[in-house]
Chain A
Amino acid sequence: MEPNARTAETISNLTASDGYEVTAFESLQFTDEIHRLISAPPTDNASSFTALLELPSPQAVELLYSPESSKLIPASPPNVEDFKGNFHFPSNTCLIERDARLSAEVNNSNENEKSKSPESKKLSTNLEKAVKSEPAETESSQPLVSDPTLDKRSIKRKDGENKVKGSTKKSKTAVNESSEDAQKLPYVHVRARRGQATDSHSLAERARREKINARMKLLQELVPGCNKISGTALVLDEIINHVQSLQRKVEFLSMRVAAVNPGIDVNLDSILTSESGSPMDSNFPSLVMPVTWPEVQGNGHRQQYEHQCHFDALQQPVWGRGEVCHNYITPENSLLTYDSSANSATLHANQLKMEL
């Protein structure tokens, strides 16, 4: 781990000495360090690079940045926008092609063949988005494993890229890749799109917002009539209304069951197993029917019972609940025994119930 320590030291020295200005000498020094790092292959290159990345402060990143941007953009400060603009040159297709080629190169040069952690893959793939500009200019697209300048530049670019996570304009494919990898990695590597803020807070917020929007879309599909509405507040209102109406429907239907019950036969199970209610088949395909039907007749019953509700609410629950408790602890036990003993009968009974 010596090269790592040395590199870290040089980085810290650099940060200590100048703010964001890097002299040519210092940049050379740094490149030598990195070259040494590459040529003497450590055991796990990917982790060492990430260790390298995580250790130095963001200021070191700026240092890494400035030599690159000075190369690419002849006369401009290491500005985010310029850096982004420079990447705009190649199209997405050649980007992806170079990805495949150069990722192989970089991986070979790093000699990280055994187990490519998602991080290393991520590094290599992300790097190539940046490195594409390099090959575009230099046209050194041959798989040169031992090419020092290319390796140096590529790895520097890799460092610069991954440290300043969101500050480069990326194509949508990059965003997709990063978001996919983000789910696997412990660190959330999110790419910022062009013109968006790049600090970690806003990135995390944006990831959260995207999650929320995805779930809102699912809810919109669930709730009927929500697809046409635009705007999250109105959609949420619709969802709230839907949930309330569903709850009221269940209440009303159970009221109906209670009202009907006085005349019921006690032995439901025997009825279910013996006969099947065939006239009910038509009700199956449509939940619409049970949903709409209660609304028509519901109001009359409801008002009648609601009066009683207000009157009796205080007195009933005290002893009513006690009885209910006893009823519901035992059915669970009986349910378990019932299921284990007579599975086929249960299945048959369920089938019949479903056909009703």
Chain B
Amino acid sequence: MDLQNLNPSSLKSRFTARFLRALTEINAPKTISSSSPREIFQRYRRIKVAADKSMAYSVRSRRIWSRATLWRLRTRSRSRRLVSFGRRASVKTRTTASHGKENKEHHGAVLGVQAEELRELVPGGEAMDLCNLLDETAHYIKCLTTQGFCVYMGGLLCEGCC
């Protein structure tokens, strides 16, 4: 397993590299840290976004869920900025949700309830038929475990440093 992890182009190494860089970016502006829950929560959100984004970028556009995650992150950031300008953001999200529901009705499977739940969990799962959904779920599980492992290691590293 060590040999496998030393592969510089493996998912783990790609993700860890990106994630650690994102972590440094997060920590850089805050040299004097306050341990108020609010600050910690803010940092948590950013780290979580960093993890998700790093994972999605490590997978590039090869998978539907990674594209969906990246798209979601981008539009969320855009919608936050546009909130002051009007309802554009909410309209956008509404249209995507309705489009997703139409697809759900078309691909009626025997296991409808669980398939719907799975679609909610896996990003971008609304517009997939059951066959592709299972594919994406398998890859997504693999990437989630990698992500968890690397975030954990990153946490230990940070702990070790302070």
Contacts and interface: CB of A to CB of B under 8 A. Distances in A.
Do A and B come from the same complex?
Answer: yes
Contact of A239 (B46, B118, B142, B153): B118
Interface string A303-341: 011011100100011101111110110111011000000
A243 B155 contact: no
A347 to B, nearest CB: 5
B53 interface: yes
Contact of B48 (A243, A250, A304): A250
Contact of B27 (A233, A261, A283, A330): A261
A89 interface: no
Given A258-B47, A280-B156, A290-B152, A222 B40 contact: no
B22 to A, nearest CB: 6
Given A218-B138, A353-B13, A354-B16, A291 B148 contact: yes
B131 interface: yes
Contacts of A239: 118, 137, 141
B152 A353 contact: no
A257 B41 contact: no
Interface in A245-278: 246-247, 249-251, 253-269, 271-272, 277
A185 interface: no
Interface residues of B, number: 79
Interface in A196-225: 208, 211-212, 215-216, 218-219, 222-223
B118 A236 contact: yes
A351 interface: yes
Given A328-B50, A331-B22, A287 B40 contact: no
Main secondary structure of the interface of A (DSSP, over half): helix
B95 interface: no
Contacts of B57: 332
Interface residues of A, number: 82
B43 interface: yes
A23 to B, nearest CB: 47
Given A250-B147, A356-B156, A236 B17 contact: no
A232 interface: yes
A327 B31 CA distance: 16
Given A254-B44, A257-B151, A264 B161 contact: yes
14 contacts: A215-B138, A222-B138, A222-B141, A239-B118, A243-B141, A250-B151, A253-B152, A258-B41, A262-B162, A266-B28, A328-B53, A335-B17, A346-B8, A353-B153
Interface of A: 208, 211-212, 215-216, 218-219, 222-223, 232-233, 236-237, 239-240, 242-244, 246-247, 249-251, 253-269, 271-272, 277, 280, 283-285, 287, 290-291, 294, 304-305, 307-309, 312, 316-318, 320-325, 327-328, 330-332, 334-335, 346-347, 349-351, 353-356
